[in-house]
Structure 1
Amino acid sequence: MTTGTVLDGRRRESLARMIAECAVEPARADWARAVCGVCVDAVTGVDGAALTLRSGARTQEVLGASGPWAAVLEELQYTLGEGPGVEAFATGDPVLVADVRTSQARWPGFAGSGTTAGVGAVFAFPLRAGGIGVGTLDLYRRRPGGLSADALADAAVLADLTTIALLQHTERSGENGLRGVISYEDVNMATGMLAAQLRIDLEDASARLRAHAFATDRSVLDVAGDVLARRIPLDRLTG
């Protein structure tokens, strides 16, 4: 066994202990927030992290974030329906973006809005259990620039460890531990209401909610709340 292999093994054990220590948090949102904090502390060059459950382009729940900035960026990806996390979940492969400003063709909305929100680089890792995607671990950096090979290795290991810990935490906490810090249940309800009243499919209804949110520089969660409260006339969401 080479020295490098020993060091790699020790590093993984160290990261595993850090994630395991988060298990003392009783609530899943607190646990997820603690995991995100570990990622920011452990991965050199990372300024924020978010842990998100995903089951499709329109369905996600932010379980935890290292702080408000990371939570805003995660919500921004949901509102726009695009970004590194969305792509990482869809493809099952890590999406590493060293300079968000250069991704205009890839994600027109996120490249501009993300840069405005202060993100320079994003590193999104899919969380997979038995070949099935369950979410993503998104790491954010304020300045453009890639991560070192060691930092990327740490991030990949943390994504694997987080997937295992997430499944274990869910088994222990049951249904009461399923709610995150940002739930999009209202968005799903508003999408269904809009689809029924305008007699359109759910994909079209979702696209209209997102388009209105983007045009008015608001989150889709806020727009959904207005739709449910009937503060937005439906004719403003048509076309």
Structure 2
Amino acid sequence: MISERAAGSDWPLALCEVCVQVLPGVDAAALVLYGDARAQEMVSASDGWAVSLEELQYTLGEGPAVEAYRTGDLVLVGDVRAEQSRWPGFAGAALEEGLAAMSAFPLQVGGIKLGTLDLYQRRPGVLSAEAVADAAVLADLATLALLENELAAADDKLRMEVSYQDVHLATGVLAAKLRMSLEDAFVRLRAHAFAERRSVLEISRDVLDQRISLEHLAD
């Protein structure tokens, strides 16, 4: 059953909850929109664990979801431990978070790429063929709903579970102050986040609140 909190207009949360409830082996789910390497919004997530794993991929710039969006192909990972050469940063950090397996379904129509539906597992093992087929249907439904959302009036737009607007702002501040490109500024934020074992969103908020010296990020 979908909880009352997920009912009504909050279909993204309902979809994530359904993934956990009906897909065998799935412990958490997240729905994410992508633009480019810096532009990302988390539409919804089933729990905080999924949020932390999405932030981990965003901070590191690698992982199954990043690859699924980039290539447009379904990415099935039955054992994260075996993928440390494929995603050296993400695999190790994700294992520490308790992730054992993951599936990332691209959300796209033709050449239009929107994001990914990501399914997380605490135990290793690739999803069954039936579960993959069911998840693919849910991903298609999410894609259509997101496309409709793009056409909706401003007041009817979805509210993001986690917004990375502060990352965009901090990237702009860093680029202006240190006279570098936005891409280089974003790389500095990511590198600092990785070194501090924190999310790039947390580091960005520290930059905006002046809790981190910009000179420190210039090194």
Indicate the TM-score class for this superposition, using the shorter chain for normalisation.
Answer: over 0.9
Q: Which residue does the alignment assign to 1:149?
A: 129
1:8-39 C-alpha deviation (Å, 9 max, x unpaired): xxxxxxxxxx99xx99523xxx3211110011
Q: Which residue does the alignment assign to 2:174?
A: 194
1:215 aligns with 2:199: no
1:133 aligns with 2:113: yes
1:233 aligns with 2:216: no
Q: Which residue does the alignment assign to 1:53?
A: 33
Q: Which residue does the alignment assign to 1:114?
A: 94
Contact 2:7 2:14 in 1 (8 A): no
> In structure 2, how many angstroms separate the alpha carbons of the residues matched to 1:23 and 1:142?
23
Displacement of 1:129: 2.6
Secondary structure in structure 2 of the residue aligned to 1:127: strand
Secondary structure in structure 2 of the residue aligned to 1:207: helix
Contact 1:23 1:169 in 2 (8 A): no
1:83 aligns with 2:85: no
Structure 1: stretches of 5+ with no match in the other structure? 1-17
Of the candidates 80, 84, 88, which is equivalent to residue 100 of structure 1? 80
Residue identity matched to 2:49: W
> In structure 2, how many angstroms separate the alpha carbons of the residues matched to 1:112 and 1:168?
38
Task: Using structure 2 for the length normalisation, give the TM-score.
Answer: 0.93
Larger-Rg structure: 1
Q: Which residue does the alignment assign to 2:54?
A: 74
Contact 2:15 2:138 in 1 (8 A): no
Residues 51 and 204 of structure 1, relative CA distance in 2, 3 Å threshold:
same
1:42-97 C-alpha deviation (Å, 9 max, x unpaired): 21111110000101121110000011111111111111111111110000111111
> In structure 1, how many angstroms separate the alpha carbons of the residues matched to 2:110 and 2:127?
28
Structure 2: stretches of 5+ with no match in the other structure? none
Contact 2:6 2:13 in 1 (8 A): no
Secondary structure in structure 2 of the residue aligned to 1:124: strand
Displacement of 1:165: 2.2
Secondary structure in structure 1 of the residue aligned to 2:41: strand
Q: Which residue does the alignment assign to 1:25?
A: 8
Q: RMSD between aligned alpha carbons?
A: 2.1
1:154-179 C-alpha deviation (Å, 9 max, x unpaired): 11121112111222345446455243
Of the candidates 130, 142, 164, which is equivalent to residue 162 of structure 1? 142
- When structure 1 is superposed on structure 2, of 171-180 and 78-87 the one drifting more is 171-180
Residue identity matched to 2:32: T
Task: Using structure 1 for the length normalisation, give the TM-score.
Answer: 0.85
Residues 35 and 170 of structure 1, relative CA distance in 2, 3 Å threshold:
farther
> In structure 1, how many angstroms separate the alpha carbons of the residues matched to 2:153 and 2:121?
32
Residue identity matched to 2:176: A
> In structure 2, how many angstroms separate the alpha carbons of the residues matched to 1:32 and 1:174?
18
Q: Which residue does the alignment assign to 1:43?
A: 23
Contact 2:149 2:158 in 1 (8 A): no
User: How many residues are treated as equivalent by the alignment?
Assistant: 218
